Every structure is written in structure tokens, then in C-alpha cells.
Amino acid sequence: MKTKIIMLAILIVMGFNSNLNAQESNPKLNSEENSIKQKKHTDMSKVDIEALAKKHLKIWSEEDAGKRNKSIKKVYAEDVEIVDPFFVINGHSKLNDFIEELQAKHPSFSFSISQPIESHNNVARLFWQFGPSSKPDEITGQDIFVIENGKIKSLYIFIDGLKN
């Protein structure tokens, strides 16, 4: 059994290496792949990504559910995936419901940016703080976005100080 696993690993590595060698020896293949990768990642400028991230944060502080829902449709992909330390949800209505619940638990809290937004290749990182005006950094964390077609496709939420 051990010998079969080792032989399989060798074959996989050899196949992987031969694929790499084929790509290195075929500049047309490399240029086509790079072109595809570049097209996927060049549709938004850093300025546009920063504006989108700011709209995202404004949505999370919007108390009017109707306004918030309209904004959600403009900022997030219809099938957006939100990955939080406590759950994973998909779609506009689930996102709107979650924000509604969060605001109900923390009625005087709002979100604000705590550090400059960073981005590259249609991925952005936003450091935020959440709290009342007397202590705006009561809860802090960061959001990581994956952006497709000008909208947030995936959102990964990290909350500082959580114990596993």
C-alpha cells in the first residue's frame, strides 16, 4: 500500500512537472493564460474599489430597511456569499435580515473605517470599527471582499478578539 502511494505521488509530480515544462516551452499558452488572468482582474480601479467598500460600510449602518435593500442590490452580487465567524449566508435578503438583527442588538452603534482601505486584483481589505459615538471602536475587525463585475461577490468578516 505504501509503495502504491509513493508511486502515485511520483506520477502526479512527474505529470505536474511535464505540464509546467509544456507551458514554459509554449509562449503562446503562457500569453493566453496571462491575458485571461489580466482580464479577470482589471475591471475595477483602486479608486472604484475603495468607493464600493465605503458604500458597503454605509449599508451596514443604514437604519432604513428600504434604502438599505436598494443599496444592497447596487453593491452586492445577487448570490453574494457572506462568511462570518458564526455563520455563512447567501443572497440579498439574508444579508438585509442579518444587518437588521445586528442593528436591533446594537441600536446606537454604527460602522466606520479605522484604517485605509487596501486593494489589488479585485480583492479589498477594509478595517472597521463598530460602536456608539462615545466609544466607536467597541468592536473592531476587518472585511475581505472579492469583487466581480463591479459588485461584491464574497465577503469574509473577521472580528478582532474572538476566542475559538
DSSP alpha helices (H): ranges in 2-151?
Answer: 2-25, 27-41, 46-61, 65-75, 92-105
pLDDT of residue 142: 97
For residue 20, what are the β-bridge partners?
none
Sign of CA dihedral 102, 160, 89, 91: positive
pLDDT in tens, 23-51: 445 555 455 555 444 444 457 899 999 99
Contacts for 41 with CB less than 8 Å, ≥ 6 apart = 121, 122
CATH of 46-159, one of 4.10.490.10, 3.40.640.10, 3.10.450.50, 1.10.287.610: 3.10.450.50
Q: 59: which 3 cell numbers?
A: 449599508
pLDDT of residue 86: 92
In order along its 164 residues, the chain shows pLDDT tens digits of 444 433 433 333 344 444 444 444 555 545 555 544 444 445 789 999 999 999 999 999 999 999 999 999 999 999 999 999 999 999 999 999 999 999 999 999 999 999 999 999 999 999 999 999 999 999 999 999 999 999 999 999 999 987 65
pLDDT of residue 27: 53
N- to C-terminal Cα separation, the chain: 38
For residue 123, what are the β-bridge partners?
120, 146
For residue 89, count other CB atoms closer than 10 A to its CB: 15
pLDDT of residue 28: 52
3-state secondary structure 20-59: HHHHHHCHHHHHHHHHHHHHHHCCCCHHHHHHHHHHHHHH
Residue ranges of the domains in the chain?
2-41, 46-159
